[in-house]
Chains A and B, each alone.
Chain A
Amino acid sequence: MAQNEEIKVINGEAFKNMCYGALNRLEDQQSYIDSLNVFPVPDGDTGTNMLLTFKEAVENLDKAKSERIDRLTQALSKGALMGARGNSGVILSQLLRGFSEANKNNRVMRNDDLINSLSKASKIAYQGVLKPVEGTILTVARKAARRAEKLEDEKNIEVFLEKVIETAHKALNKTPDQLPQLKEAGVVDAGGQGYLTILEGMKAGLTGKVEVREEVKEKREIKEEVAEELKYGYCTQTLINVKEQNVNIDEIKNDIEQFGDSLMVVGDDDIIKVHIHTNHPGIILEYALKTGSLRDIKIDNMRMQNAEMRKKHEEEQKEDFEQLKDESTEDYEEKLIKSAKSEQLDRKVGIIAVAKGKGIKNILMELGVDLIIDGGQSMNPSINDFVEAVEQMEQEKVIIFPNNKNIISAAQQASSLSDKEIKVVETKAIPEAIAALLVFNDNKELDELRSSMEEEISYVKTIEITNAVKDSKVNGFEINEDDVIGIVNGDIRAVGNSEIEVISDLIDEVWEDEDLITIYYGDGASQQDAEEIKKKFQAKSKEAEVEIYKGGQPLYPYIISME
């Protein structure tokens, strides 16, 4: 294998290049890392925080008028300290402090300084936390340091870094097994990915292979669609019956690791096992032939495996769906209901709504909602419920109606976790979603669509009638347990002993010549009562059109919309 000149010493200039390389690489991967962020707080900002922290560190590095490693690492560390943002940023600043402390009085950096740097970085980073959580950037940093400590003999820094990166990558891939939050979301740790990215960038910066930047961008496109590991398509394995003695396993590793990743070469004097993910299984086998005869050759197309898995998943979902359809309508109370309408599947924009009550769900589905998450007042769906629902959607663009002010934030958090384009239309009640659905237009951009929906919502007045569950004092109303409360657009506006009484008070108070009134009656209310309410409205205006639907919602005997 053609080798460039070996790099054994890192001088000031080389170190700067390493930092620039890392910064470039972080910039490229920022949004990917953001998308991984589910722990400790799933706010999708790890990539941004690490980038901003590192950026400030590098800016400070530029200011240091020195070519000495000790001054430079110190400047880097100080910049990171000042610029630290977020949990991952603070950890990164401590890692860099470790780098700086390991290089006191060093003009240049060699193998042993690098080992020192990595282990000091890990050590200092661990000191800063009382209760280290495994499966995070700390784990990745520690495992990388452990590997580095075993590489005393690897004087070629390029190879050294490559090996450390390999270990860091493996550690990163294990993070979902260590931290359940990651597993649940199906991601690796964001901070860990950030550290790996920095190491990779440093190596790229060191070797001067700056084209990395474009290259990575392309790879990321693929990553977003398929899984990260699928940079290489074929899992290639073979056993080699070694014909000559004294085969050097490390030599084999070195020679073929350029062709892929997940490389494993193990064995003894007689037999060697090679495992690699590569795009060129042929080259690997040809190479192996030079070493000896081959057996148990196995080549799997991992991209197809992945596609097959996806297909299987889809089929399972379809089966679930068929089952749901077969079961009686009573089972609408199932947590998730999918729509059968094939014309909806052709739409570019998918719609998810949170609702409770059979009648209301049916109405929403008829108006074009693809998927309903069961929930509402006192039954807030989790962020994960939203993420799952979004994943189930065929469409890449999704609109969510939370239909309750307490659910809006969960929906928004979920939207920041997904790769799909998601807009949360902040509906606080079912009638708002119904009004918004009437202006749905599949051809509009999501932003435009959301603002037109929100405009429509502003014309709707929603009255909700419910019962007080405890004594309290709100909006100047003295409320006793079991009182009937009338809520208009989220504010308590009337309190009384009977529903009819409260509703007539409210009608008097908020009537503004609306011409379309819709009454959804729920649990604890009857068609007759609703007819009574209809009469109250008709007494206000002869022209107003009043419709009555059985909503079946719990907790709210009546939800009334006026527009």
Chain B
Amino acid sequence: MVKEINTEYGKILIAEEVIETIAGLSAMECYGLVGMSSKNMQDGIADLLGWDNLSKGVSVEIEEDAVNIILNIVVEYGTNIHEVANNIIERVKYTLKNRVGIEVESIEINVQGVRIGNGTE
């Protein structure tokens, strides 16, 4: 599916992939998130994904006008996970609204893993 926005002069069609990438990138700028985890994961191993396939951790569902996003993330140990997730939701919502002009209906965060940083003894 693509997201349709109608304007005075014509339609704008935004592919799912675009929303995935933007949602992924803006989430990655959030404090506390240290990685995305593959959405196709079946065996329960949260693999840290690199930059190239960051949108793998994001799935976007578009139905009619509603856009729903699911983010599979890995967080840093020692952060308040609940708050980090909240911040990500807020950030992604804001970015999509302002950069793309899309109102997101819901954002679901799956915390798939915790990374223990090397500065911690």
A residues engaging B (CB < 8 A)?
40-41, 43, 81-82, 84-87, 89-91, 93-94, 97-98, 101, 104, 120, 123-124, 127-131, 133, 378-379, 469-470, 554-555
- Give the complex CA separation of A235 and B117 in angstroms: 46
- Give the complex CA separation of A131 and B35 in angstroms: 10
Closest CB of chain B to A137's CB: distance in Å? Answer: 9
Q: Given A41-B90, A85-B83, does the pair A129, B119 have CB atoms closer than 8 Å?
A: no
Q: Given A129-B32, A131-B28, does the pair A86, B119 have CB atoms closer than 8 Å?
A: no
- A residues in contact with B84, CB < 8 Å: 90
- A residues in contact with B87, CB < 8 Å: 86-87, 90
User: Across the two chains, which residue of chain A brings its CB closest to B84?
Assistant: A90
Q: Is the CB of B30 within 8 A of A129?
A: yes
Contacting residue for B8 out of A41, A86, A555, CB 8 A: A555
Contacting residue for B31 out of A85, A87, A120, A379, CB 8 A: A87
Closest CB of chain B to A254's CB: distance in Å? Answer: 34
- A residues in contact with B28, CB < 8 Å: 130-131
Q: Given A40-B91, A94-B79, A470-B4, does the pair A124, B11 have CB atoms closer than 8 Å?
A: no
Q: Interface residues of B, CB < 8 Å — how many?
A: 28
Q: Is the CB of B8 within 8 A of A379?
A: yes
Given A128-B117, A129-B76, A469-B7, 11 more A-B residue pairs with CB atoms under 8 Å apart are: A40-B30, A41-B90, A84-B83, A90-B80, A90-B84, A120-B119, A128-B31, A128-B32, A130-B34, A131-B28, A378-B7
B residues engaging A (CB < 8 A)?
4, 6-8, 11, 28-35, 76, 78-80, 83-84, 87, 90-91, 94, 117-121
- Give the complex CA separation of A311 and B32 in angstroms: 45
Closest CB of chain A to B104's CB: distance in Å? Answer: 14
User: Across the two chains, which residue of chain A brings its CB closest to B33?
Assistant: A130
Question: Closest 7 interchain pairs by CB?
Answer: A127-B117, A84-B80, A128-B76, A469-B6, A41-B94, A87-B87, A84-B83
Contacting residue for B83 out of A43, A86, A120, A470, CB 8 A: A86
Q: Is the CB of A130 within 8 A of B83?
A: no
> What would 8 A/B residue contacts be, using CB atoms closer than 8 Å?
A87-B30, A94-B31, A128-B31, A128-B78, A129-B29, A130-B28, A133-B29, A378-B6
- Give the complex CA separation of A120 and B91 in angstroms: 27
Q: Is the CB of A84 within 8 A of B121?
A: no
- B residues in contact with A127, CB < 8 Å: 34, 76, 117-119
Closest CB of chain B to A125's CB: distance in Å? Answer: 8
Most buried by A among B11, B87, B91, B120: B87
- A residues in contact with B83, CB < 8 Å: 84-86, 89-90
Most buried by B among A84, A86, A101, A133: A84
Q: Is the CB of B6 within 8 A of A93?
A: no
Q: Is the CB of A101 within 8 A of B120?
A: yes
